[in-house]
């Protein structure tokens, strides 16, 4: 008997239908010498420390780091899992051959192999079914191309290394920081500080962005512009930081004639959009409709299981060469629901550019596209996501958009100005995105009248005053983009290249990372914004090891995991490095090597902070720096450790004005913001004389 293990019941039913297997049993479908059964996603997970040794149920620094010599498996603790697993085990023990039909990727491979291991059937012959779509044609084609399951041993090795290394780093660092810093405010309930290889760098990015905005001080600037023939011309130089320089140029051109000296018209071609991968789809739907990344993934997964779109958890925006014959068929099927949009396309002469077809850029799965199956009974989110995928797919085969970009140069008393205007000549693919076109037209340069070189006349120059703006808080759209392009934050070229392909997390996990941070109260949603909470900021302040807060570790791991997938790195060598890393992390953190080297740098001038009799101050006080921090405020006295955390992590100060008095915001011992009044000038002088440390002594 052959046993086919799918990842979900719905996929198992689809496979059984295609193979004409009809007899339904409890937990599987049987017929024609086959049994099709299913998991519920992850059925099997790694055991907890207390299951290796009951003494490890108690969290203690003395037992860290804990790294098993050999990892053991167990069933996840969910209703119905044990019964379904026993069914799978019974079938596998009877099987002559087992076919893996879980999701075609790293995690799907892990689900299957962990089940196989816990069943004790790893020695059974196995084969691999690799699906990009759940349509009957795709399933039949995949069964004709079954491969030896052990061809995917390197993929499983990479998946197992990812699972075990996440366990080692996450569990040990979470226990360490919770035991060590769980009562940072003193007394009360212990705080559970959860650390993760991916979630913690993402949290650090959000904290850093929020702190940058909080510390931002707007600076005034002035721009010189002029009106000529109802067109706004802008000064071609940089904007002015001082009004005196701007006013000088304004005076120079006031009452002077304005002359057109050059007119340059260029045609610009805008290529059609590329197909969606999961992250780009999530970003686009969040930007245009405000749907969360998690909701977009759920809707896309539902569409996949309804056979309406191809496999969603992909990081590719391309199709493979063998897809070419299928594309016209899909577009022909879509005519029933999108007749007007597909009518302009000649389906017998579609243009397949490198932006669409590129075998080198298709990894486990190709881009997300519709299958051509007619949708029925979709909920609001599913309809929205399906429409986005279908429109993007059709637009990819539309002609380019052609625009005329006109640049007009003018001068007044030797001061140069310029104006730009855009005119759409052929809209091409943009007709499918009317909302985007309206937004673009609103933001685009003005419509220009017909100018002639050498013409001259009066104009109306003026100064526009503005202020510099801080960066925007992260939205899900921009955070997903930052996670995808995490290589920007890494200096090492090799690691940056690894992150260029993978980024932080994977397309399948990024939404879950955001939801995890939300559920743990490390970040919060404010309309479309994602903002750090005091808990999140405090956690980042506590973590001294830079690798735990940087995409660098993720980049290094992903690079090595890809090497394991390609059989270019021994999994044992990778895991040995992980074990060494966590031992070093716990040892250094426990010994205080990262924490006791210095108090921190002055948030005003950057010099070292030193400790006096009753206060902390800047070592550059003789040079005029007036930064002084008194540890006691409103009856609360911060410990030396807390002062060090605040200074080293630059959480202090946030200059603000309250009741028209200058103050500084800090993080209180409970992780809540409180304000410190800046010492008065007289008090600062007294502090300098009496309390401030004297370097000479």
Q: Which residues are catalytic?
A: 311
Largest CA distance in the chain: 96
Q: HSE of 170 in the Cβ direction (CA atoms, 13 Å)?
A: 16
Residue 519: Cβ within 10 Å count = 9
Alpha carbon distance 582, 172 (integer Å): 8
Please state, in angstroms and as integers, the Cα–Cα distance from residue 111 to each residue in 285, 344, 523, following that order: 30, 45, 30
| Cβ-contact 66, 56 below 8 angstroms | yes
| HSE-CB for 358 with a 13 A CA cutoff | 12
Listed in order, strand segments (DSSP E) in 229-275 are 231-235, 258-270
* DSSP per position, 468-525: --PPPPPBHHHHHHHHHTGGGG---HHHHHHHHHH-SS-TTTHHHHHHHHHHTTSEEE
Nearest CA to 649 out of 579, 590, 600, 591 is that of 600
Quickly list H helices, 359-473. 380-395, 434-443
Check the CA dihedral 120-123-127-128 and report its sign.
positive
210-217, long-range: CB < 8 A, 24+ apart: 210/473, 210/531, 210/532, 210/537, 211/537, 211/650, 211/651, 212/470, 212/471, 213/470, 213/471, 213/473, 214/654, 214/665, 215/654, 216/470, 217/655
State CA 529 to chain mean position distance: 14
Burial of 228 (0-12, 13-18, 19+ CB in 10 A): buried
Q: Which residues contact 560 (CB under 8 A, 6 or more apart)?
A: 569, 574, 577
**Beta bridge partners of residue 421, listed in sequence order:** 406
Closest CA to 311 of 613, 168, 491, 108: 108
220-228 and 460-467 strand pairing: antiparallel
Rounded to the nearest angstrom, the gap between the alpha carbon of residue 109 and the centroid of all alpha carbons in its chain is 24
3-state secondary structure of 594: coil
Helix (H) or strand (E) holding 176: helix 153-181
- Residue closest to 311 by CA, chosen among 388, 367, 376, 358: 367
């Amino acid at each position: 008997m052959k046993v086919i293990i799918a990842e979900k019941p719905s996929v198992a039913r689809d496979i059984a239908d295609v193979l004409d297997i009809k007899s339904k049993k409890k937990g599987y479908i049987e017929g024609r010498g086959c049994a099709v059964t299913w998991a519920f996603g992850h059925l099997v997970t790694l055991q907890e420390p207390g299951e290796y040794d009951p003494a490890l149920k108690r969290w203690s620094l003395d037992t860290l780091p804990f790294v098993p010599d050999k990892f053991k498996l167990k069933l996840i603790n969910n209703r119905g899992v044990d019964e379904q697993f026993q069914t799978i085990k019974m079938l596998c023990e009877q099987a002559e051959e087992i076919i893996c039909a879980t999701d075609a990727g790293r995690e799907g491979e892990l689900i299957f192999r962990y089940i196989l291991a816990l069943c004790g059937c790893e020695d059974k012959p196995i084969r691999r079914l690799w699906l990009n779509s759940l349509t009957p044609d795709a399933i039949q084609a995949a069964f004709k191309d079954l491969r030896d399951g052990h061809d995917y041993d390197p993929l499983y090795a990479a998946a197992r290394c990812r699972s075990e290394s996440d366990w080692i780093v996450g569990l040990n660092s979470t226990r360490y920081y919770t035991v060590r810093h769980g009562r940072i405010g003193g007394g009360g309930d212990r705080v559970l500080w959860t650390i993760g290889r991916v979630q913690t760098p993402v949290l650090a990015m959000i904290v850093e962005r929020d702190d940058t905005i909080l510390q931002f001080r707007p600076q005034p600037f002035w721009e010189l512009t002029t009106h000529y023939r109802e067109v706004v011309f802008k000064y071609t130089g940089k904007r002015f930081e001082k009004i005196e320089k701007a006013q000088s140029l304004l005076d120079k051109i006031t009452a002077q004639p304005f002359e057109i000296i050059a007119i340059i018209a260029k045609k610009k071609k805008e290529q059609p959009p590329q197909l969606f991968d999961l992250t780009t789809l999530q970003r686009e739907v969040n930007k245009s409709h405000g749907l969360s990344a998690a909701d977009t993934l759920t809707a896309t997964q539902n569409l996949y299981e309804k056979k309406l779109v191809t496999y969603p958890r992909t990081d590719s925006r391309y199709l493979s060469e063998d897809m070419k014959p299928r594309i016209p068929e899909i577009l022909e099927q879509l005519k029933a629901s999108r007749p007007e949009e597909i009518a302009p396309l000649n389906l017998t002469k579609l243009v397949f550019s490198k932006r669409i077809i590129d075998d080198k850029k298709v990894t486990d799965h190709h881009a997300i596209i519709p299958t051509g199956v007619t949708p029925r009974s979709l909920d609001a989110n599913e309809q929205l996501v399906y429409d986005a995928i279908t429109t993007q797919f059709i637009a990819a085969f539309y002609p380019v958009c052609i625009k005329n970009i006109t640049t007009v140069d003018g001068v007044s008393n030797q001061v140069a100005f310029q104006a730009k205007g855009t005119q759409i000549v052929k809209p091409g693919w943009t007709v499918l995105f009317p909302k985007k076109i309206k937004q673009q037209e609103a933001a685009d340069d003005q419509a220009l009248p017909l100018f002639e070189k050498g013409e001259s006349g009066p104009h109306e120059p003026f100064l526009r005053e503005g202020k510099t703006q801080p960066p925007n808080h992260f939205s899900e759209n921009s955070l997903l983009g930052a996670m995808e392009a995490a290589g920007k934050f890494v200096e090492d070229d090799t690691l940056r290249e690894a992150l260029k392909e993978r980024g932080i997390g994977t397309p399948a996990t990024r939404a879950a990372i955001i939801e995890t941070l939300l559920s743990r109260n490390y970040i919060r949603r404010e309309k479309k914004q994602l903002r750090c909470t005091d808990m999140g900021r405090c956690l980042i302040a506590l973590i001294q090891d830079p690798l735990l807060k940087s995409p660098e570790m993720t980049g290094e791991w992903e690079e090595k995991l890809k090497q394991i997938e390609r059989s270019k790195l021994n999994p044992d060598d990778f895991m040995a490095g992980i074990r060494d890393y966590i031992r070093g992390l716990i040892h250094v953190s426990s010994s205080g090597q990262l924490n006791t080297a210095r108090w921190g740098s002055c948030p005003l001038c950057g010099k070292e902070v030193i400790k006096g009799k009753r206060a902390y101050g800047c070592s550059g006080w003789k040079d005029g720096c007036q930064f002084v921090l008194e540890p006691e405020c409103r009856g609360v006295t911060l410990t030396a450790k807390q002062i060090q955390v605040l200074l080293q992590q630059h959480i202090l100060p946030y200059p603000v004005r309250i009741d028209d008095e200058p103050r500084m915001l800090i993080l209180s011992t409970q992780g809540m913001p409180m304000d410190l009044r800046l010492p008065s000038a007289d008090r600062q002088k007294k502090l300098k004389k009496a309390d401030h440390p004297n370097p000479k002594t």
